[in-house]
């Protein structure tokens, strides 16, 4: 199997000293523009607020850092999104795109939810044109269930066309 299709991706809890790395990778409009709740610009104070919040993990609110060779390269989580619906969300820092990291991380995250006893279907929503993210979902068994609209109040007030997916489990 090629390295691209099977990168050595690990998930771990966030640590307080991840703030610099988060601020480096997330202060990038190409990454934040496709997420539901990451502000842009993204300052170290945004990372610190996020790291403080994810320490309060409970029930169906689960967040993990994605690492490759022990270096933080992205994030994946399940929890309430703007508007209130619970969805899976994920991102990978741009220097690490196209290596199969998100595909592997979403698969590992679903397995982690199993281990944590978090059952039931998992919803996902992508900006309509985010074909890379749609591939990640489909490769992990998510099924397209219809179009919608997403909001990104951390960045602007516009509603954007979206595609909705569900993983039944
Ligand atoms: C979407 C994102 C997470 C993908 O991360 P990644 O690690 O590069 O993804 P992978 O390498 O695992 O897989 C990407 C898949 O999309 C495909 N892809 C990439 N760009 C594409 C494009 N423009 N059109 C169609 N498919 C595309 C790749 O070919 C790959 O599919 P394949 O394995 O069948 O070839 C990453 O681009 C990102 O963080 N984007 C910004 C944030 C975001 O969109 N988050 C998701 C919110 S729903």
Q: What is the pLDDT of residues 51-98, one digit of tens each?
A: 999 988 887 899 999 999 999 999 999 998 877 789 999 999 999 999
Q: How many CA atoms lie within 13 A of 73 on its CB side?
A: 22
CA 54 / ligand 1 centre spacing (Å): 25
Number of domains in the chain: 1
Ligand 1 contacts CB of residue 35 (under 6 A)? yes
Identify whether 161 is part of a domain: no
137 Cβ below 6 A of ligand 1: no
Task: Report the nearest-CA residue for atom 45 of ligand 1.
Answer: 91
- How many beta carbons lie within 10 A of that of residue 51, not counting itself? 18
Stretch among 2-11, 39-48, 55-64, 103-112 having the lowest mean pLDDT: 2-11
Query: In this structure, is residue 154 part of a structural domain?
Result: no
Q: What CATH number is attached to the domain comprising 110?
A: 3.40.630.30
In a domain, 52, yes or no: yes
Is 128 within the bounds of a domain? no
* Confidence band, pLDDT 50/70/90 cuts, at residue 5: low
Q: Is residue 143 part of a domain?
A: no
Which residue segment(s) compose the domain that 46 sits in? Answer: 9-119
Burial class (CB in 10 A: 0-12, 13-18, 19+), 89: buried
Distance 124 CA to ligand 1 centre (A): 14
Q: What is the pLDDT of residue 128?
A: 94
Cβ–ligand 1 distance for 4 under 6 Å, the answer no
Mutation test residue for ligand 1: of 30, 135, 164, the one with most atoms within 8 Å of CB: 135
């Amino acid at each position: 199997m090629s390295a691209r299709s099977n990168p050595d991706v690990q998930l771990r809890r966030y640590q307080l000293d991840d703030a610099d790395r988060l601020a480096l990778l997330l202060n990038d409009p190409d990454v934040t523009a496709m997420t539901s709740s990451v502000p842009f610009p993204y300052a170290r104070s945004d990372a610190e607020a996020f790291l403080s919040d994810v320490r309060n993990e409970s029930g169906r609110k689960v967040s993990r850092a994605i690492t490759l060779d022990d270096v933080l390269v992205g994030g994946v989580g399940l929890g309430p999104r703007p508007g209130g619906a619970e969805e899976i969300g994920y991102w990978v820092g741009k220097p690490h795109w196209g290596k199969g990291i998100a595909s592997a991380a979403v698969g590992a995250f679903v397995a982690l939810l199993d281990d944590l006893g978090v059952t039931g279907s998992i919803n996902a929503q992508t900006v309509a044109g985010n074909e890379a993210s749609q591939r990640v979902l489909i490769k992990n068994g998510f099924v397209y269930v219809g179009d919608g609209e997403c909001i990104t109040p951390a960045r602007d007030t516009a509603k954007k066309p979206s595609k909705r997916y569900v993983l039944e489990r």
